[in-house]
Chain A
Amino acid sequence: MDEYFHSVKVDRGRCKGTMRCMRVCPTEAIRIREGKAIILEYRCIDCGDCIRVCPEQAIRSVVGSYEDLGKFKYTVAIPSPSLYAQFGMGISPNHILNGLKGLAFNEAYDIGRACEIYITVLKEYLRTYSDNKPLISTLCPSVVRLIQNIFPDFVRNLLSLEAPRGIAGAEVKNDKARKLGINSKEVGAIYITPCPAEMIAVNQPQCKSESSLDGALAISDIYGLLISSIRKLGPLEELHLSSGLGIGLAIPGGCIMDLDAENALAVDGVRNIIKVLDDLEHGKITNIKYLELWACPGGCVGGPFAVDNPYLTKIKVIKLIQSFGKKKSSDEELNSLRAYLSCDVELHPRGSSTLGRDTVDAIKKIKQRDSIIENLPKIDCGACGAPTCKAFAEDVIQGRAEILDCVFKLKDKVVETLQDGLGWARKTPLSFRKRT
């Protein structure tokens, strides 16, 4: 199994072991050891649910910093469409792009056109798609990992197209390198991200052997600076060149109407996604042609690094789509981006849900686990450092914990030991003992 790049990390200095992250993690990837959270990397899908609930802000995402910008001759900011909805209605995408340029970037690039070509090609793809299971969107990197990990059978249904962020990165690098006469490696394409998962996409793109993006900055990290930059703006340069169509990708179902797909379904939140994929496996859900899945409740505007309330931003996204219309770029302009959409890496299942090396071994382990669970209190107290009694039992059989790490089992052991001791204490010395 090749290594995963992970964006979500625990800051051990800040972590106080409150267990909130452990309880909320939808893939049971967090344990508490020595009073600090640790992440089981093979289970983590970088959804960032833990980041949202940590009261100490001890779970962080490896995102870039301004210092990284110094490595490039020319830097371009590429904001996620969700950034456009993070401000009051008086601040247009053009203000935001100009404001970004006013920060430490040489330029700010509107991702809209990349979204438009993406939706156009997806539409074509759907017309010829004939599998009896739905085509599954790959825009959200956490969803891709979730499917690789626990729904391996659906890997073949994952859409094999480069996401708009990657398309935009490739276009920016090629275009600037050509115009400025520099190497494309000297152009830094920096994504402005609402979530840690897209940071993975920057470092380890799912369908390309090499990433076209050079780094990412969290929306929340630049928000304050961006607001002051927007306030200081003079005359605006026309940087927002696309329609409102692509902005729809910031919310679940925002583009479904434009796909002309019969029965397309949008689902958000990891637990909801698991439920839907489960139903799909049982044949309970049928006749769905396209499944758009978002790990964050509310889609990208609900990302852990998004600043504004996701319900308000959803309304703003809808208003932006209405005010900018759905068609602006010419077919020629869009078609020039087509080459960036193809993938050169195939997705494979990761199969991390298997317990043993082979069937016999796995059966043995399942039996051991089930007999351990049988004797646990099943109240999921978490004191053992695992989110549930079931997860604890798995930790025991996989050697990550021992049975007496359960406080209830420990208490039983203490009672047993004390009773044992009492028996010994009651034993009379031979000189006093009555003959029997």
Chain B
Amino acid sequence: MAEQKHNEHLLELACPVEGGDFIHAGEVASKIKKVLKEIGVSQEVVRRTAIATYEAEMNVVCYARRGKFYLTITPDCLKIVVQDEGQGIEDIELAMKEGYSTASPQIREMGFGAGMGLPNIKKNVDQLQITSVVGEGTRLEMDIFTRC
């Protein structure tokens, strides 16, 4: 019963993303943004989340076979976990550097892969945790505090 009470304040969403699908790229980020606007969190939180989720979604589209977004919203905090199946990141520290990119020429031609994705995510969230296994995939955990 206590747990149920707690769950009332909790909203969970799970959204799949297909690697290489540039047509629908950005739809998950849009969906998350819409929910946040409906909930009525501050414009600043919507703005930051919109950018972070879009960058994370593009990373899945550009570098992974597939991935999944798990969004948990409580009145105080927004947690977004992105788990993908893909090439993984060899050197996370390097990947966090602005301008560092392993994108293929094709992806760069489409205007992505400028090496700003992860740094941009870090700039817009309150906590970021990245774990990755090369050849298997990457897991991004982003926290955004909505009340502070």
Contacts and interface: CB of A to CB of B under 8 A. Distances in A.
Interface of A: 150, 152-153, 278-279, 281-284, 349, 351, 353-356, 358-360, 362-364, 366-367
Given A358-B75, A359-B146, A360-B75, 12 more contacts: A152-B43, A153-B43, A283-B51, A283-B54, A283-B120, A356-B40, A358-B40, A362-B38, A363-B11, A363-B75, A366-B35, A367-B11
Contact of B47 (A153, A359, A360): A153
Contacts of A366: 11, 35, 38-39
Contact of B51 (A150, A152, A282, A353): A282
A284 B38 contact: no
A282 B38 contact: no
Interface string B26-57: 10011001110111110100110011011100
Contact of B73 (A152, A281, A355, A363): A363
A366 B75 CA distance: 13
B111 to A, nearest CB: 9
Contacts of B54: 282-284
Contacts of B14: none
A416 B105 CA distance: 60
B15 interface: no
Interface of B: 8-11, 26, 29-30, 33-35, 37-41, 43, 46-47, 50-51, 53-55, 73, 75, 120, 146
B50 A283 contact: yes
Given A354-B37, A354-B40, A355-B39, A282 B9 contact: no
A309 to B, nearest CB: 32
B15 to A, nearest CB: 13
A362 B40 contact: yes
B37 A360 contact: no
A282 B11 contact: no
Nearest to A353: B37
A283 B75 CA distance: 25
Contacts of B26: 279, 282, 284
A278 B39 contact: no
B6 to A, nearest CB: 12
Contact of B40 (A279, A359, A367): A359
Contact of B9 (A279, A284, A360): A360
Given A282-B30, A282-B51, A283-B51, A363 B43 contact: no
Nearest to A369: B38
Nearest to A280: B50
B40 A281 contact: no
B30 A278 contact: yes
Contacts of A362: 38-40
Given A354-B38, A367-B11, A282 B29 contact: yes
B38 A364 contact: no
Contacts of B73: 363
Contacts of B10: 363
A281 B43 contact: no
A69 B46 CA distance: 48
Contacts of B75: 358-360, 363
B32 to A, nearest CB: 10
Contacts of B50: 281-283
A282 B26 CA distance: 8
